[in-house]
Chain A
Amino acid sequence: MRAQTPAAVILSLRRISDLCLSSTAKVEMPEGSQRFFVPQNDVEGVRAWSRKRHLAGQGAVSDFLLRASAALRFQWFFWLRSCRATHFALLLCLISAPLLARTVTLKPEALEAFAVLSESNQINGWAAYNYDYTRYGADTPGAGPGTSYLLRYSLGQIPKGQRITRAEWTIAHNVSSANVSVWRVLADWGLGACFQYRATYPEKLGWSVPGARGKSTDRATNPTATGQFVNGQLLTVNVTPDIEMWYHGAAPNRGWLITFDSFALLHSATHGGQRTKWQLTITYEPE
């Protein structure tokens, strides 16, 4: 028997079960199907079956099934299918789906853009904490009604052809009990992004409302998620809809805007050892 990785075996079963689910035609078993195992060289028999299953000429899928069937010698699959294939396929789906799922955790290294929108320092995209009116710090992220944050992650770590099943974002804070809202950003932003402008290079482009506060223009009409900081706990919010949209291209990935209803001291997503607490965890599986 040809060596198969567990993932390949599971995927084979999954593909075959999908076909079973979509079939209503009577199945004609290939020659030799009365045997429990198909001989490894019985490719022609499986090929004949696949032609009847309208798989012939479908390139990679057909070839994959042929090879998988022959290699795995899962003749009992045909037998089972002729009996109660649909139920079996459903069972396979249930079993294989979680096994096929993959989870990737995007840490701050995957951040591709970041900006601070500070109402008290409106043209500086790194005025994260104001010690006083003459001195600001970029490394200590203070937040509040007048200070919000833009973050955009690269989703390049998710392979193509996947279905997003779950996405959770952990917002790392230090001290606070603020209510937090996570908004999908609609307006394009880039170099020079700050409270007043969404970009200042090569030309100055303003937000429709300073601070990216324009609903349905700068940011989505409703927040993707909301939550409240609790001291000693990290806040994790469900951002699955946004990740799905961005991944499938239904909307451009322009990141999130985080807003706060009262003062909050965050852990930096960009500086220092606590930044790894910011995590975007995405679970996906093959479509």
Chain B
Amino acid sequence: MIRRAVSAVLGLVALAAFAADAPLPREFTVTPEVIKEVPAYLTQVVVPDATCAAVNGDASLLVVGRKADDEKHLAVFRLDAEGRPVGEPAWIALPKPESLAKNTNYALGLLFHPKLPLLYVWQDITGAPPGRQEKFPDVSQFAEFDHLLTFAINDGALELVQTGARGPGFRCGLNAGTIGLDYAAKNLFVPNAQGETYDEAGIAFYALDEEGLPGDTAEATNDKPVKKPDMMTNIAKGPKKAIRVVLLPKKLRTNHYFPSGAGWFAGSEAILMGGYSGCMVADFHNGGLRQTWFGLPDRVGPCTLAGHPTLPVVYFCLQDNVQLAALSHVNGYITLLPQLATVPAAHFIGLPVVLTKQSRVAIGDAKSLHLFGLRADGKLDGKSERLLLPCAQVRGLAYSEKRERLYVAVDKTN
């Protein structure tokens, strides 16, 4: 009996050791551990109906975009030395033409220039043509709506210096799409450009001038140009804001549905973009932008994407669904096979955000936030936490590596 008992114990120990060392399958299901204590690295700010967020550690600014009927489109928080928001936010209303006064415009994407004191904002507006008009939609009402807004940071305040990406060349009324820079921060990529048909998403990119403003000519071109939208700005408030004609960004078809530009990551040789059912790898080849689409293995739908800033991994997240994928890349080229995590009953939403110091990836959900653990190589480690938050949809996430802090916009205080 003793021998049997000892054998059983040894067997269990061996089994436990084997289980602990068992490699994580490439495709796995994980049930998150619900955490009740808010982690010390997480800072909540109250911005109801948030859609996006960005933080600039050097400028000590946190900006949260929102979608609401009032004129409070951007909440601008100043941060103290510890990275905590100080006082109430300043509110900024985003411009729209008088003809669309009844439509709700909202920020979809925010991006700080990595070196220059600039904030790029991608805004969208409700009132897209109904489904029955898909083949021949009337988009004339959006002719004067500018999607791209460039703000300068002056003494901690944001000042609008340029607008652009106007007209029917861009799709309106979407819930995903943001802006991204290439590796050298010389080209600005914008989302949701209109492809050759009303259903087809395109992308577009501007060359930036020395001041970081979208210039007249993009550096690379696609050999199949499509309809060029009008790029005139519609505001003039200062020397740099004089009405100017900007040739439009070079456009590129994607042969995929909307959205496009649902997250960007710039590798040294190629740029990655989240889009419909996967991501796009775009590289410059013989002067043109060459694209390769990598789809999710089994599912379809809009995917958002974010890259790890230091490790060769990008994460893309199927929206309103249960799957998160971690893909290796080298210099922007997707490589080998994706790691797929399935979280039952999840409804992921918004852009993933990488917490480099905490080795986690954060993704929003309805009334909660998911925090996936990362291994040393940036791949998922199979662990997941879920934090309940007072927010209908957690979309306003931003991480400051300098402050080692994750900012989360919520609808109200706990």
Contact between B297 and A270, CB atoms less than 8 A apart: yes
Q: Are A126 and B288 CB-contacts (below 8 A) given A134-B223, A191-B312, A201-B330?
A: no
Verify if B125 is at the interface (C-beta below 8 Å from A): no
Chain A proximity of B202: nearest CB distance (Å): 12
Contact between B297 and A138, CB atoms less than 8 A apart: no
- Interface segment, one of B58-66, B128-136, B334-342: B334-342
Contact between A200 and B336, CB atoms less than 8 A apart: no
Contact between A134 and B294, CB atoms less than 8 A apart: no
Chain B proximity of A191: nearest CB distance (Å): 5
Residues 265-308 of B at the A interface (beta carbon under 8 Å)? 269-270, 278, 281, 283, 285, 288-298
Residues 136-175 of A at the B interface (beta carbon under 8 Å)? 136-139, 156
Contact between A192 and B292, CB atoms less than 8 A apart: no
A114 to B294, CA, bound (A): 13
Contact between A125 and B336, CB atoms less than 8 A apart: yes
- Interface segment, one of A105-113, A220-228, A229-237, A245-253: A105-113
Verify if A194 is at the interface (C-beta below 8 Å from B): yes
A63 to B205, CA, bound (A): 75
Contact between B27 and A109, CB atoms less than 8 A apart: yes
A191 to B298, CA, bound (A): 23
A127 to B281, CA, bound (A): 10
- CB-CB contacts of A109-130 with B at 8 A, as 1s and 0s? 1011111000001011111000
Task: Give the chain B neighbours of A201 by CB distance below 8 A.
Answer: 312, 330, 335
Q: Which residue of A lies closest to B281 (CB)?
A: A124
Verify if A57 is at the interface (C-beta below 8 Å from B): no
| Interface size of B as a range | 35 or more
Q: Are A139 and B290 CB-contacts (below 8 A) given A123-B333, A192-B333, A194-B333?
A: no
Q: Which residue of B lies closest to A118 (CB)?
A: B292
Contact between B298 and A271, CB atoms less than 8 A apart: yes
A192 to B330, CA, bound (A): 6
**Chain A interface mostly:** loop
A135 to B222, CA, bound (A): 11
Q: Are A138 and B328 CB-contacts (below 8 A) given A115-B336, A124-B333, A194-B333?
A: no
Task: Give the chain A neighbours of B297 by CB distance below 8 A.
Answer: 270-272, 275
Verify if B375 is at the interface (C-beta below 8 Å from A): no
Interface size on A, residues (CB 8 A): 33
Contact between B290 and A121, CB atoms less than 8 A apart: yes
Verify if A212 is at the interface (C-beta below 8 Å from B): no
Contact between B222 and A134, CB atoms less than 8 A apart: yes
A67 to B335, CA, bound (A): 53
Please tell me which one of the listed residues A112, A124, A125 contacts residue B26 in the complex, with CB atoms under 8 A apart.
A112
A113 to B337, CA, bound (A): 6
Verify if B255 is at the interface (C-beta below 8 Å from A): yes
Contact between A191 and B290, CB atoms less than 8 A apart: no
Please tell me which one of the listed residues B25, B289, B290, B337 contacts residue A270 in the complex, with CB atoms under 8 A apart.
B337
Verify if B36 is at the interface (C-beta below 8 Å from A): no
Chain B proximity of A189: nearest CB distance (Å): 10
Contact between A136 and B298, CB atoms less than 8 A apart: no
A273 to B26, CA, bound (A): 17
Contact between B224 and A134, CB atoms less than 8 A apart: yes
A60 to B270, CA, bound (A): 59
Q: Are A124 and B292 CB-contacts (below 8 A) given A191-B312, A272-B297?
A: yes
Residues 357-382 of B at the A interface (beta carbon under 8 Å)? none
Task: Give the chain B neighbours of A200 by CB distance below 8 A.
Answer: 330-331, 333, 335
Task: Give the chain A neighbours of B337 by CB distance below 8 A.
Answer: 111-114, 270
Chain A proximity of B378: nearest CB distance (Å): 11
A115 to B244, CA, bound (A): 47
A112 to B23, CA, bound (A): 11
Chain B proximity of A154: nearest CB distance (Å): 8
A136 to B312, CA, bound (A): 22
Q: Are A126 and B290 CB-contacts (below 8 A) given A201-B312, A270-B297, A271-B295?
A: no
Contact between A136 and B291, CB atoms less than 8 A apart: yes
Task: Give the chain A neighbours of B224 by CB distance below 8 A.
Answer: 134
> 17 other contacts beyond A139-B295, A192-B333, with CB at 8 A cut-off?
A111-B26, A123-B283, A124-B281, A125-B334, A126-B281, A126-B334, A126-B335, A134-B222, A135-B253, A135-B293, A136-B291, A136-B293, A137-B293, A138-B278, A191-B328, A201-B330, A275-B297
A47 to B106, CA, bound (A): 85
Chain B proximity of A250: nearest CB distance (Å): 23
- CB-CB contacts of A79-93 with B at 8 A, as 1s and 0s? 000000000000000
A112 to B312, CA, bound (A): 17
Task: Give the chain A neighbours of B25 by CB distance below 8 A.
Answer: 109
Verify if A190 is at the interface (C-beta below 8 Å from B): yes
Contact between B293 and A192, CB atoms less than 8 A apart: no
Q: Which residue of B lies closest to A199 (CB)?
A: B330
Q: Are A134 and B289 CB-contacts (below 8 A) given A112-B26, A114-B337, A191-B312?
A: yes
Q: Which residue of A lies closest to B291 (CB)?
A: A135
Please tell me which one of the listed residues A111, A156, A272 contacts residue B298 in the complex, with CB atoms under 8 A apart.
A272
Task: Give the chain A neighbours of B294 by CB distance below 8 A.
Answer: 126, 138-139
Sample of 5 A–B contacts (CB below 8 Å): A125-B334, A133-B290, A138-B334, A194-B333, A271-B295
